Structure 1
Amino acid sequence: MSSSEGARRALVIGGTSGVGRGLAQWLAGKHVHVTVAGRSQERGGAVVEACREVWPEGEFDFMSVDAFSIKALADACAAYARSSSRLDYLVLTQGMATIQGYTPTDSGLDQKLVLHHFGRMASILALRDLLTTTSGKDGADVRVLSVLSAGVHSPLAAYKQDPILRNNYSIKNAADFAGFAQDLCLDGVSRETPGVAFVHAAPGFVRTNWGSEFPSALRWMVRGLQVFGKSEAVCAAEMGKALVDPRYAGGFHLMGPTGNPVPKTKIHNDEAVEFMWKATKDAVLPAMTGQPTKSES
């Protein structure tokens, strides 16, 4: 740690591109020291330099991590926790757009679902002690922001029958599952972690490199439509409300693309929260140590 022991600190996983890159630079503008985490050293270094241009006195660095691997995420987050005295903001934006089917990772869980749900929850679990410790410091306002699909996705009614979406995978089901599971699990972890706010947000339509995994024709169609999307900077200012707006302090919240609260799905209830949070931990905790998930072993 440097001399700025009491300064606010953020970890942005997925911060090498898109909304995460925008949020890293937005946080720099708020005089928050930022660690950018992702796979690409080149892109991460560029974001770090952009943050330094925004706030030359700030501390910015890159943390290499393969977000497709839950164990790699857990190891990287554990290393961060060992070397840091505080974490005020954990921002999770890692993701991909693809039309591929269920594609297992080293844990047996699907690639897209690891990025959009399981890996995010593993990161929270690995950093929860540090978040809690920080929340006890004078003046701290600790928040976790997961940017995905709050208020946009549909509920997945059959979540109890397939809690890792191994048997009913489709493009739509994967999108709905990830968003619905994020709702339930962020609610679940918030109940176990007083003093820390957990916000699931939807970014809206943004001009990013989203869809780079699509086939060429579909990718170019998306690029054409993105001309009408908002910029990363505009999106970051809207998503950043989750980290500073008093409406989102403490507890669990859902936030829409303009920074306003959005409602839960109709089947978001205590039973669903308890079930999905337990099922997700059952899948994630073994994977954090390099073991296959219980449903895959």
Structure 2
Amino acid sequence: MIPLRTIQASNRLIASDPPVFRNPIALFVGATSGIGEATVKQFAQHTLALRPRVYLLGRNSDAGHRIVQDCQALNPTGEFHFLPVDVSLLSAVDEISAMLLKKEPYLNLLFLSTGTAAGKTETRENLRTLTSLLYYSRLRFTINLLPLLQSTPPGHLRRVISVLSGGYEGPIVDVADLDGRRLSMREFRGQVSSATTLAMETLAEQAPTVSFINQYPGTVRSGLFRDADSWYGWVVWAVLLVIGWLVYLPTREVAERHVFLATSARFQARERAEKQRVLVEGVEVARGTDGRVGSGVYSVWWDGETSGEEVMEILRGLRREGMREAVWRVTESVFVRVTGKVRVEV
């Protein structure tokens, strides 16, 4: 476990490392409550005087505009913009992506934390809402915005974080049911986490100067289970209602840890376009999902440690079965079916 005081020491270096963080541009997808809201506020605080430009996406306009005002108060030098959008729709993801590709010269950070506990609803694009929010729309944003991430000035940060279930990768991925319609929620978590990590490995080959993180945030107070529509979701909601105060991680600590994930040299790209930054004492470059140190893709537990040998063996097995390639083929085929193209075109 990386202690909170070490996390905070690393975060305090952000403002003193201008070659990496000058004028950062960041996109927070799912930022109107919970983890996204807390993290974007911490990011605003830690980038004081660095003139960040930050975009927040979410469905709740009232919350979005309130959070923009909060961030502006925390960091008067920054620009904070809220864009109301339902990112469960890939067409909406493409619209936002096209706007950013036209408007912005680069992107330093893509932070993805959308979620729902509703397992039975579907989008009007005939995707399971749960899978669209946790997997398809996140991958669509990442693929669409890779050109901006790769256009970041030499020496500057380039990173994608998906707050999901790193460390819970499962040994079975059914590419015939990547939506997970026939799976229990526990089985689905293993599948979507493995699919995310494997897709990130493919993306890291396409964009080796960008680092990718699949992270499990721990048990956090949020409104995630307000949409629950299954016995599993109701049980979890009821249990947390009773004992949540015993197991919830402090929201501020969770946000600090996510800012650390977003900025620390611990999680390097496989080809380092970033300046070689000095790590704070007690922090080393992490081991990637292929078992090599600094290999660019990381499955990360809530405490900042990367997944252990059990997860590494599961991923090795999936690669031997050709699942990385199979997941990518199915993901691209879904994108083409829904939008008519593999990625947005500008």
TM-score range, shorter chain: 0.7 to 0.9
Shift of 1:17: 0.8
Shift of residue 56, structure 1, vs aligned partner:
1.6
2:315 pairs with 268, 272, 288, which one? 268
Give the Cα–Cα distance (whole angstroms) in 2 for the partners of residues 64 and 248 of structure 1. 31
CA distance in 2: counterparts of 1:14 and 1:249, whole angstroms: 24
Question: Match for 2:200: what amino acid?
Answer: L
Unaligned 5+ segments in structure 2 are 1-21, 270-295
- Whether the 8 Å CA contact 1:71–1:290 is kept in 2: the answer is no
Q: Distance in 2 between matches of 1:252 and 1:109?
A: 27
Change (3 A) 1:226 1:33: farther
User: Residue in 2 aligned with 1:189?
Assistant: 203
In 2, the alpha carbon distance for the partners of 1:282 and 1:247 equals 34
Q: Deviations 1:97-151 (Å, cap 9, x if unpaired)?
A: 23x43x33222221100000011001111111111111xx132120000000000
Corresponding position of 1:294: none
Give the superposition deviation at 1:9.
Answer: 1.0
Alignment check: 8 A CA contact 1:211 1:222 kept = no
Give the distance between the partners of 2:54 and 2:243, measured in 1 at CA.
Answer: 32
Q: CA RMSD in A?
A: 2.3
Say whether residues 1:10 and 2:26 are aligned partners. Answer: yes
**% of aligned pairs identical?**
24
Q: State the match for 2:330 in structure 1.
A: 279
Mapping for residues 247-266 of structure 1, pairs under 5 Å: 247-250=266-269, 251-263=296-308, 264-266=311-313
Mapped to 2, the partners of 1:50 and 1:10 lie a distance apart of 17
Q: 2:265 aligns with which of 246, 250, 254?
A: 246
State the TM-score, normalized to the length of structure 2.
Answer: 0.75
CA shift at 1:195, angstroms?
A: 0.7
261-270 or 277-286: which moved more?
261-270
In 2: Cα distance, 1:81 partner to 1:133 partner: 11
Give the distance between the partners of 2:301 and 2:334, measured in 1 at CA.
Answer: 28
Q: Secondary structure at 1:200's aligned position in 2?
A: strand
Give 1:289 deviation, angstroms: 4.5
What is the Cα deviation at residue 246 of structure 1?
Answer: 1.4
Q: Distance in 2 between matches of 1:220 and 1:20?
A: 23
Q: How does 1:9-158 map to 2 (within 5 A)?
A: 9-31=25-47, 32-98=52-118, 100-101=119-120, 103-134=121-152, 137-155=153-171, 157-158=172-173
Matches of 2:211 and 2:337, distance apart in 1: 26
Distance (whole Å) between structure 2 residues aligned to residue 183 and residue 193 of structure 1: 15
Check the 8 A contact 2:335/2:341 in 1, yes or no: no
Residue 117 and residue 158 in structure 1: after superposition, are their counterparts in 2 closer, same or farther (change >3 A)?
A: closer
Question: 1:158 Cα deviation (Å)?
Answer: 4.5
CA distance in 2, matches of 1:115, 1:161: 19
Checking the alignment, whether the CA contact within 8 Å between 1:71 and 1:289 is kept in structure 2 is: no
CA contact (8 A) 1:117 1:178 kept: yes
Q: Secondary structure at the match of 1:208?
A: coil
CA distance in structure 1 between the partners assigned to 2:97 and 2:254 by the alignment? 26
Q: Deviations over 1:56-97 (max 9, x none)?
A: 221111012102211111211221221112210000000012
Q: TM-score, normalised by structure 1?
A: 0.87
Q: Shift of the alpha carbon at 1:275?
A: 1.7
**What secondary structure, in the 3-state scheme, does the structure 1 residue paired with 2:83 have?**
strand
* In 1, Cα distance between equivalents of 2:45 and 2:199: 30
Shift in alpha-carbon separation, 1:260–1:184, aligned structure 2, 3 A:
same
Whether the aligned pair in 2 keeps the contact of 1:13 and 1:38 (CA below 8 Å) is yes
Q: Distance in 2 between matches of 1:285 and 1:39?
A: 25
Distance 2:100 2:222 in 1: 28
Describe the shift of the 1:61–1:289 C-alpha distance in structure 2 as closer, same or farther (beyond 3 A). farther
Deviation per residue, 1:136-171 (Å, 9 max, x gap): x1321200000000003433x2424433434x2332
8 Å contact 1:70–1:122 — kept in the other structure?
A: yes
Which residue does the alignment assign to 2:174?
Answer: 159
Secondary structure in 1 matching 2:329:
helix
One-letter code aligned to 1:172: R
